[in-house]
A = this chain, B = another copy of it.
C-alpha cells in the first residue's frame, strides 16, 4: 500500500488529481484510514489509473471514461462512444485547418488588421417586399432606396426588425445596367404589396433560407461598396469559399440627414465550399 504521495510519484500524476478522481467516483483508494483520513492506494490500482489516463488523452471526458469503465456498459456501447469520438476528432482537425488558413491569410497581409472581417452567418427564410428594376447607375439606386425609406418608413403590423435590402441580380461592379431588387426584408406578418407611388408598387415574395452567408460590414458612403466587395473576393479565395447565389446588401443604417453621410451596409453573399485543389 502506498500513501497518496508515493502513489502519485509512481504514476506521475498530482495528489490533487487522485483526490479529485475519488471525489467523482472514478478511482477510490483501496483503503482510507477513518482516523486520519489518509488515503492508501495499492499497486494493483495502477492499471485502472493508467487506463483512465490513456482514455483522457484520447479526449474523452471523465464522465465518459467513468461510463466506459463501468462493467454495465456493453462492448457495443463502448464502440459507439469511440466511433463518435473519432468523428469529433476528424471534425476538430478540419476546424483547426480552417483556423490555420485564417491566421496565415492575415499573416500574408502587410498590415495584419487591414483585412476585412468576414463573418459567416445563416439567414432564415424571409419575406421580401420589394420592387425589381433595371437602373442606369448607383445614383438611381440610392434615390429608390430613399424614396422607399421615406414613403414607407414602417410596415404596419410588423413588430420585427426590418431593414431595407438591395438584391443585386447583375454584378454590382457592372455599372451599365443595374438589375436590382430593392425593398424591405421582413420576418413577421407582411402585407402582399405596398404602394410606393402612382406607378410603383412593392410586392411580396419569399426568400428561401440560406445556410451559409459570407457577410461583411461596410461603413461609408453608399456607393463605395465595390472596394469592400473586392476585399470579400480576396478573402473567399484565401479561405476556399465561392459565391453560390445572389448577393444582398442590407442597409443596417441609412445615411442620416445628408446624402453624403455615413451609411452602414452589410454585404451578404451566399457561399459554398470551393473544390479542393
Given contacts A46-B266, A96-B96, 13 further A-B contacts (CB under 8 A): A43-B253, A47-B117, A47-B217, A50-B215, A51-B113, A51-B117, A54-B117, A54-B118, A58-B102, A75-B111, A86-B103, A86-B107, A93-B93
Smallest Cβ-Cβ distance to A76: which chain B residue: B112
Q: Which of A54, A83, A104, A217 has the most CB of B within 10 A?
A: A217
Q: Which residue of B lies closest to A55 (CB)?
A: B117
**Which of A6-14, A125-133, A204-212 sits within the interface?**
A6-14
User: What's the minimum C-beta distance from A6 to chain B, rounded to whole angstroms?
Assistant: 5
CB pair A96 B99 closer than 8 Å: no
| Those of A241-275 within 8 Å (CB) of chain B | 252-253, 262, 264, 266
How far does the Cβ of A61 sit from chain B's closest Cβ, in whole Å? 13
Cβ contact of A50, chosen from B50, B82, B83, B119, cutoff 8 A: B119
Query: Per-residue CB proximity of A84-116 to B under 8 Å, as 1/0?
Result: 011001101100110110111011000111000
Given contacts A78-B113, A82-B107, A161-B9, contact A99 B58 (CB under 8 A): yes
Residue of chain B at shortest CB distance from A92: B96
Number of A residues with CB within 8 Å of any CB on chain B? 55
Beta-carbon contact of A83 and B99 below 8 Å = no
> Does A219 contact B97, Cβ atoms closer than 8 Å?
no
Does A202 sit at the interface, judged by CB under 8 A? no
8 A-B pairs closest in CB distance? A43-B264, A43-B253, A50-B117, A54-B117, A51-B117, A46-B217, A43-B252, A86-B103
Interface of A is mostly: helix
For residue A161, which residues in chain B have a CB less than 8 angstroms away from its CB?
Answer: 6, 9-10
Complex copy number for this chain: 2
List, in ascending order, chain B residues with CB within 8 A of A174's CB.
Answer: none
Q: Which of A130-170 contact B (CB under 8 A)?
A: 161
Chain B residues with Cβ below 8 Å from A44 are 219, 253, 262, 264
Instruction: Give the distance to chain B from A171, nearest Cβ to Cβ, in Å.
Output: 24
Q: Give the CA-CA distance A267 to B153 in the complex, in Å.
A: 78
- What's the least CB distance linking A138 to chain B, in Å? 20
The interface residues of chain B lying within 8 Å CB-to-CB of A195 are: none
Nearest chain B residue, comparing its CB with the CB of A254: B43
Q: Residue among A47, A57, A83, A103 with the most chain B CB within 10 A?
A: A103
